[in-house]
């Protein structure tokens, strides 16, 4: 048994003097209002269930800052950003992908993220040919998470075509693709998970996968009880193309393919049409919002409050890694609704806390996100003595934390009963910032990787 004693912990409500006992990677017992026994490790501040980053593309961390328009007169949108991202995607070999992903995952761990959902589509070689092991990059990503101490669900994405008009993959997209949904399934079947590694399915989007193939991927996930994720209506152009090609909105098309339901997470769900909210809610399809990416790419603000009311559990992701801060993502779910509605109070602070913990864990297929016996021993401690959170009281602590805490307030991170971050320092790779800086430098120096050139 490993034992921690927290001054304060969130157990559905804020409790004092909480004893957390882990047996292996799970919590064996959680009790409050007790004194610390000898040998218990003290966690000061507030302990929360580990934060869950449901939607990540680790390699896109290399675009942070550099992809921002340098001048006020520079124009740009999602599609021009995608051009930069494709240029980067065309350069990464497995070694560089490992360094970039590992360092990005260290940044996540330091930010209190205990589990990441990596939406993975960089499958083949830059020229599109498969590696000798067709899962080389997926295994590389899983190894990077392990090296950073992070729990991971690898959401392996089926990606078959360049658009709803059926055009073939080209350029950087070639390495994303599988020959067919059956070839995708055969490849993914060869990936084994581990104690901190799960394999899930993804349909890249209705743009990239035809309806019968969507149904096949959804069936594969259903047979295995695996999570199924899909990018949904991030841009209005996807809706226009879907309506033109099929007469259905992307959400309705996914529904007809049997791809919606409680194990499915729709990522973004920004530009929903009439009926889509009800469809997602009635099927209990989860929705992962990525507000810092959505605002960065000028995507728009999705109907988060209406989705929650309709029955869709909400969760959050750092997606493009514009920043890595789940507190910022979670409060933006509420604050963005305020901007577009002229009204406050769409989501309770407790609902936002649940989005960044428990609902995220469910979306990625893990028994985590709640501090109780039997759940995975994933939790984080927040410093409450710093200048930023000064002035809190027991009664308003959750509001304080949800609306003002940042990744920098995380002091300790325990994942599967192991201390991955202690006293704001990561246990394993030292010089994490330097390692990431170096990996990004190499990614951008590679041929075709000059993301700052137009």
| Active-site residue list | 268, 319
Instruction: Pick between residue 319 and residue 328 the one whose CB is nearest to Zn ion.
Output: 319
State whether the Cα torsion 126-132-135-141 is positive or negative. Answer: negative
Instruction: Pick between residue 87 and residue 426 the one whose CB is nearest to Zn ion.
Output: 87
Q: Say how far apart CA 108 and CA 326 lie, in whole Å.
A: 9
Q: Which residue is nearest to Zn ion (CB)?
A: 319
Count of residues that bind Zn ion according to CB under 5 A: 1
Residue carrying the six token digits 């990431």: 436
> Cα separations (Å) of 166 from 10, 161, 169, 206?
49, 6, 9, 11
Sequence-separated (6 or more) residues with CB below 8 Å from residue 223? none
Q: How far is the CB of 268 from Zn ion (least distance, A)?
A: 8
Q: Is there a contact between 263 and 225 (Cβ–Cβ < 8 Å)?
A: yes
Q: How far is the CB of 368 from Zn ion (least distance, A)?
A: 22
Q: Binding marks (x or -) toward Zn ion, 38..77, rule CB under 5 A? A: ----------------------------------------
Q: Is there a contact between 432 and 70 (Cβ–Cβ < 8 Å)?
A: no
Tokens of 345: 């109070």
Q: How far is the CB of 376 from Zn ion (least distance, A)?
A: 25
Q: Binding marks (x or -) toward Zn ion, 129..168, rule CB under 5 A? A: ----------------------------------------
Q: By CB under 5 A, what part of segment 319-358 binds Zn ion?
A: 319
Options 153-161, 311-319, 384-392, 441-449: segment touching Zn ion (CB under 5 A): 311-319
Q: How far is the CB of 321 from Zn ion (least distance, A)?
A: 11
| Among the listed residues 385, 450, 451, the one whose alpha carbon sits nearest the alpha carbon of residue 424 | 385
**Residue 1 burial by CB count (10 A; 0-12/13-18/19+): exposed, middle or buried?**
exposed
Instruction: Pick between residue 54 and residue 415 the one whose CB is nearest to Zn ion.
Output: 54
| Among the listed residues 120, 20, 50, 148, the one whose alpha carbon sits nearest the alpha carbon of residue 366 | 50
Long-range contacts of 68-72 (CB under 8 A, 24+ apart): none
Instruction: Pick between residue 234 and residue 409 the one whose CB is nearest to Zn ion.
Output: 234
Q: Is there a contact between 249 and 233 (Cβ–Cβ < 8 Å)?
A: yes
Coil, helix or strand at residue 450: coil
Options 153-161, 307-315, 317-325, 399-407: segment touching Zn ion (CB under 5 A): 317-325
Instruction: Pick between residue 230 and residue 356 the one whose CB is nearest to Zn ion.
Output: 230
Options 9-17, 182-190, 315-323, 375-383: segment touching Zn ion (CB under 5 A): 315-323
Q: How far is the CB of 50 from Zn ion (least distance, A)?
A: 21
Q: How far is the CB of 82 from Zn ion (least distance, A)?
A: 11
Cβ atoms < 10 Å from Cβ of 406: 17
Instruction: Pick between residue 290 and residue 376 the one whose CB is nearest to Zn ion.
Output: 290
- Residues that bind Zn ion in the complex, under the rule CB under 5 A: 319
């Amino acid at each position: 048994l490993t034992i921690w004693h927290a001054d304060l912990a969130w157990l559905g409500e804020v409790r004092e003097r909480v004893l957390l006992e882990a047996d292996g990677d799970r919590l064996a017992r959680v009790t409050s209002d007790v004194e610390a026994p000898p040998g218990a490790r003290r966690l000061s501040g507030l302990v929360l269930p580990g934060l869950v980053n449901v939607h990540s593309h680790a390699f896109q961390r290399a675009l942070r800052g550099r992809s921002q328009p340098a001048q006020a007169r520079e124009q740009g949108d999602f599609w021009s950003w995608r051009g930069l991202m494709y240029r980067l995607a065309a350069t990464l070999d497995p070694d560089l992908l490992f360094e970039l992903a590992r360092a990005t995952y260290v940044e996540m761990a330091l930010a209190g993220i205990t589990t990441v959902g990596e939406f993975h589509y960089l499958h083949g070689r830059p020229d599109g040919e498969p590696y000798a092991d067709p899962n080389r990059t997926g295994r590389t990503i899983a190894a990077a998470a392990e090296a950073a101490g992070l729990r991971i669900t690898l959401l392996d994405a089926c990606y078959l075509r360049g658009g709803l008009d059926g055009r073939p993959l080209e350029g950087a997209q070639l390495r994303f693709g599988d020959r067919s949904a059956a070839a995708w399934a055969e490849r993914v079947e060869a990936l084994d998970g581990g104690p901190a590694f799960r394999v899930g399915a993804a349909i890249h989007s209705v743009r990239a996968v035809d309806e019968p193939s969507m149904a096949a991927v959804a069936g594969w996930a259903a047979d295995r009880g695996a999570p199924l994720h899909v990018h949904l209506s991030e841009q209005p152009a996807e809706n226009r193309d879907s309506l033109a090609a099929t007469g259905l909105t992307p959400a309705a098309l996914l529904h007809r393919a049997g791809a919606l339901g409680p194990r499915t997470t729709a990522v973004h769900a920004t530009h929903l049409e009439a009926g889509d909210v009800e469809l997602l809610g009635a099927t209990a399809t989860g929705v992962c919002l990525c507000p810092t990416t959505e605002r960065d790419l000028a995507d728009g603000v999705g109907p988060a409050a209406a989705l929650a009311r309709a029955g869709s559990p909400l969760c959050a992701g750092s997606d493009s890694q514009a920043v890595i801060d789940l507190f910022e993502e979670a409060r933006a779910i509420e604050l963005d609704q305020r901007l577009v509605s002229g009204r406050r109070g769409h989501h309770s602070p407790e609902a936002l806390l649940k989005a960044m913990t428990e609902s995220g864990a469910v979306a990625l297929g893990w028994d985590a996100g709640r501090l109780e016996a039997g759940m995975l021993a994933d939790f984080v401690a927040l410093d409450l003595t710093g200048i930023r959170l000064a002035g809190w009281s027991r009664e308003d602590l959750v509001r304080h934390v949800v609306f003002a805490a940042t990744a920098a307030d995380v002091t300790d991170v325990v994942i599967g009963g192991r201390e991955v971050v202690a006293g704001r320092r990561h246990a394993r790779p030292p010089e994490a910032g330097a390692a990431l800086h170096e990996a990004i430098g190499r990614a951008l120096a590679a041929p075709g990787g000059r993301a700052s050139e137009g």
